Every structure is written in structure tokens, then in C-alpha cells.
Amino acid sequence: MCPDWPFRQRIPRPDLAYIFRGQAVAGRYGGSWQPAYFLVTKDDTPRVTISAEDFTDGGMIDLAKRLEVPIKGDFTAKVP
């Protein structure tokens, strides 16, 4: 079972603009930069972070197709 807020990340479907491949800091207290997927809103705010270790790139491409949003980035940009 997934814990409730603040641990569960959510984004309303109408607000989703695209999925972005970038890097996020692993861990809460300043770990190393790790590849991640970000669900980004229409105002370019990354709202949900998903570790790239949890999904294949093909799986994320399929998700983007089902959600009818583009997928951008190449895991080089660091997203604070």
C-alpha cells in the first residue's frame, strides 16, 4: 500500500503537459544525481518524480502514448 500525502505524488490528468527525462537528487538529504522521469505541468513545473530504475524507457514511452503527451529530454539536465 502506498502511504498518503506527503509521500504520494499526484498530478491531475488535465494539468499534465509532458514527461521529461532528466536527473534528480536521490534521497531527501542531498544524495547523488540519478536518472529520473518527471511528470511536468503545463506551466513547466515538474510535479512527480519517478526513478528511471523503476521503469524501462520503453515503458515510459508507452505511458506517454497512453496519456497522449510527448516525452522529452535525454537524462542530461539536472532538475532541482
The domains of the chain are located at 13-78
Per-residue pLDDT at 1: 42
Please state the pTM of the whole predicted model. Answer: 0.82
- Residue range 65-79: average pLDDT? 93
pLDDT in tens, 20-71: 999 999 876 768 899 999 999 999 999 999 999 988 989 999 999 999 999 9
Backbone dihedral angles phi then psi of residue 52, each to the nearest 5 degrees: -70, -15
In 3D space, the residue among 55, 69, 57 whose CA is nearest the CA of residue 16 turns out to be 69
pLDDT, residue 31, reads: 80
Q: Is the pLDDT of residue 4 over 70?
A: no
CA atoms within 13 A on the CB side of 66: 6
Cα angle 68-48-35, degrees, rounded to a multiple of 5: 95
